[in-house]
Chain A
Amino acid sequence: MMDPFLLYSLTGVGLLVVGLHGLIARPHLLRKLIALNVMGGGAFMLLVAVAYRNAGEAPDAVPHAMVLTGIVVAVSATAFALSLIRRLHAATGRVTLDDDGDEDDEPARAVGRSEAGDRPAGDASR
């Protein structure tokens, strides 16, 4: 049977890979945010696997403390990113970072909702 350290480190690598793919390939910002969180989970898993490998029965508490603070920082960064995404959606009606205008994400709603002085410069010039 595979050594748990190796198994969970490779799981961590798998999460980083799956997350990076999602981050690049998925246009929806919410999905990009989930992808970033998956990548974070992969990094945490690598750290905790190393702590496990080094000490077995009594794992190293330093990586544990780092991951613990990392989880709390990750959720606060996620919440902040969500308020930016929701603000972007309210102001422009878009949920992606595309600016070539090939999608039709409720343009009528965008005009209706946004305040005149609030539009991004690139948006106003079009």
Chain B
Amino acid sequence: VSASVLDPVLALAIVGLAWAALASHDLFRGVVLYIVFGLTMALAWARLRAPDIALAEAAVGAGLTGALLLDAVARLGRNAPGSGPHRTERIARVIAPLAVASLGILLVLAVLELPRDPGGLTALIEANLERSGVANPVTGVLLAFRAFDTWLEVAVLLVAALAALSVRRADDLRDLPVPRVTDPMLAALPRVLVPLMVLAAGYLFWLGTRSPGGAFQAGAVLASAGVLLLLAGRAGVDRLPPRALRLALTAGVIAFLAAALAPFAGGRRVLELDPASAGTVIVLVESAITLSIAVTLALLFAGARGAEDSRG
């Protein structure tokens, strides 16, 4: 089968899966379809020559989001509420087609009108990649050229973790109920999988400076290992002492702050790394970001699980 058939099939599958996930009457079925949708998206990213995104999508879009949604369905029940005459549903029957049709038409027109801009910023990145200290252009953009964006993005993660803790009205997770695991498979699974996941995360991290991979993918894989530990009732992120938890959550933001201020000593501007040592600084900042992403995402999973059991 030639590649020219693959793309249209993928495109149809993606939109069809998204529709089916939202239309299905059984929530559990909907979530499973959404996970398949995430995996299909990862294939599309690979087709669009975006391997960094494909890796992140496979770990996050299909893995972590799927685990979060499945856990919520187990708690909330899999049946959609009342098939009777919902008020929102009555309004939606009028508004939805109008909103959807106008958004669709506007976006299709916008896509057809997009100017062709050969190269975009590719040439600029290629010309300066050597000064960034890394060889993977995506890592270069994340940690050097647009480091300020990434810094704030790590701060957004921190805010999400704090917000989830506020919903529980707790400053740590040590009172989280530990699930009683009776399934011997689930109890044994972490022993096999967690070391492999840690190994995979380390490999992704190590690759990141010169080929697809890096802090985001490694952090997501480590977070999945943390989620697996939580599900199997093993000591996970919930058993960390508060001080260690706080340190891990803020490590990324603090490392970025240090990297932002250090250049002042050499008479440089904020975040302007010395090309001679930039590679080392980036690896150090990335390690801190990996730790923060892993602990934040695992804590968000634990926080969502514990949301019902908040101390009033």
Contacts and interface: CB of A to CB of B under 8 A. Distances in A.
Given A71-B60, A80-B164, A83-B164, A60 B120 contact: yes
Contacts of B56: 68, 71-72
A82 B81 contact: no
Nearest to B14: A11
Contacts of A6: 111
Contacts of A54: 116-120, 122
Contact of B84 (A31, A60, A102): A102
B72 A117 contact: no
A123 interface: no
Interface string A39-61: 00100111011111111011111
A73 B31 CA distance: 20
A27 B79 CA distance: 12
B18 A41 contact: yes
B86 A98 contact: yes
Contact of A78 (B27, B68, B114): B68
Interface residues of B, number: 102
B53 A64 contact: yes
B164 A79 contact: yes
A72 B312 contact: no
A84 B104 contact: no
Shortest beta-carbon contacts, A-B, top 4: A79-B300, A22-B22, A60-B120, A61-B137
B22 A69 contact: no
B31 A34 contact: yes
A80 B140 CA distance: 30
A13 interface: yes
B190 to A, nearest CB: 21
Contact of A18 (B19, B30, B137, B164): B19
B301 A10 contact: no
Contact of B125 (A21, A30, A62, A85): A62
Nearest to A118: B312
Interface residues of A, number: 87
A77 B157 CA distance: 8
**Dominant SS among interface residues on chain B:** helix
Contacts of A67: 50, 53
Interface string B225-250: 00000000000000000000000000
Interface of B: 4, 7-8, 11, 14-15, 18-19, 21-23, 27, 30-31, 34, 37, 41, 44-45, 47-50, 52-53, 56-57, 60-61, 64-65, 68-69, 72-73, 75-77, 80-82, 84-89, 92-93, 95-96, 99-100, 103-104, 107-108, 111, 114, 116-122, 125-126, 137-138, 140-142, 145-146, 149-150, 153, 156-157, 160-161, 163-164, 167-168, 216, 219-220, 293, 296-297, 300-301, 303-304, 306-310, 312
Contact of B44 (A11, A28, A74, A117): A11
Contacts of A124: none
Contacts of B96: 20-21, 24-25
A119 to B, nearest CB: 11
A96 to B, nearest CB: 6
A37 B86 contact: no
Contacts of B23: 22
A74 B60 CA distance: 9
